[in-house]
Amino acid sequence: MMCQHCGQKPATLHFTKIINGEKTESHICEGCAREKGEFNADPAHEFSIHNLLSGLLDFDLSNGTGNLKNGVYGFKATPEAMRCDNCGLTFSQFSKMGRFGCDECYKSFGSRLDPLLKRVHGNIIHVGKIPKRNGIVLQRKRELDDLREKLQESIRMEQFEEAAQLRDHIRMLEKELTGGAEAQ
């Protein structure tokens, strides 16, 4: 189909307007659309997933905590002032970018994310694969800290035999942690 406006280029944009039940269709090319101003085809204004997400977040803000634009906040920690301590990303920056700065952001913004995730995925809790090592690593790290403390203690008490055993145990655990899968 050719552009209804210039008749020279293929129509790539198709509009259907329904006003008071009266339907009008137009088929035009990008150039004519830009001239007519019906559609902004400037790449900078392209509609992306991230625009869409920030749209959803704005919706949450304006519905969730009263009139933010006028600075009337219902809570002390407003979502806009929320900030991830790890990477410094604020919630309002996140809502503009539609992307997180680091893994800690998920904790920092916490349940604020529930409405967004619910809308995108219909769910807020992960099911499915989990890292095999995940739980184990944390446990081992805690265990190591304990052992190191005990080692210092036994050295101070001059219990060298016990210290040597502890040292070997620590070395073994350290090796497991860095060695990865085989060590499990």
Partner 1 sequence: MSNHSFMKQPVSDWMRGTGPDSDIVISSRIRIARNLHGIPFPLLATNQQSAESLTRLTAVAESTDFADLGHFYVMKLVELNATERQVLVEKHLISPNLANESRNGGLLLKDDESISIMLNEEDHLRIQCLYPGLQIREAWEAASQLDDVFEAKVDYAFDEKRGYLTSCPTNVGTGIRASVMMHLPALVLTQQINRILQAVAQVGLAVRGLYGEGSEAIGNLFQISNQITLGQSEEEIIDNLYGVVKQIIEHEKAAREQLRQENITRLTDRVCRSYGILKHAAIMETKEAAQRLSDIRLGADLGLLKDVSPTMLNELMVMTQPGFLQHIYNKQMNAEERDIYRARLIRETLVRKLSAPRQSDKSKKLQE
- What residues line the site for partner 1 (CB under 8 A)? 12, 49-50, 53, 86-87, 89, 97-103, 106-107, 113, 116-117, 120-134, 137, 180-181
Which single residue is written with the structure tokens 């919706």?
A: 59
- Measured from the CB of residue 166, what is the shortest distance to partner 1 in angstroms? 25
- Measured from the CB of residue 23, what is the shortest distance to partner 1 in angstroms? 18
Phi, psi of 180 (to 5 degrees): 80, -145
Among residues 3, 6, 7, which one has the least CA distance to residue 15? 3
Q: Is 3 exposed, middle or buried (0-12, 13-18, 19+ CB in 10 A)?
A: buried
Residue among 7 and 135 whose Cβ is closer to partner 1: 135
Helix or strand or coil: residue 99?
Answer: coil
Helix or strand or coil: residue 159?
Answer: coil
- Measured from the CB of residue 100, what is the shortest distance to partner 1 in angstroms? 6
- H/E element holding 18? strand 13-19
- Measured from the CB of residue 158, what is the shortest distance to partner 1 in angstroms? 37
Residue among 66 and 115 whose Cβ is closer to partner 1: 115
- Measured from the CB of residue 155, what is the shortest distance to partner 1 in angstroms? 30
Among residues 112, 122, 121, 124, which one has the least CA distance to residue 60? 112
Residue among 117 and 155 whose Cβ is closer to partner 1: 117
Retrieve residue 120's tokens: 């995108």
Residue among 162 and 176 whose Cβ is closer to partner 1: 176
Residue among 52 and 164 whose Cβ is closer to partner 1: 52
Task: Give Cβ neighbours of residue 14 (< 8 Å, ≥ 6 apart).
Answer: 25, 26, 27
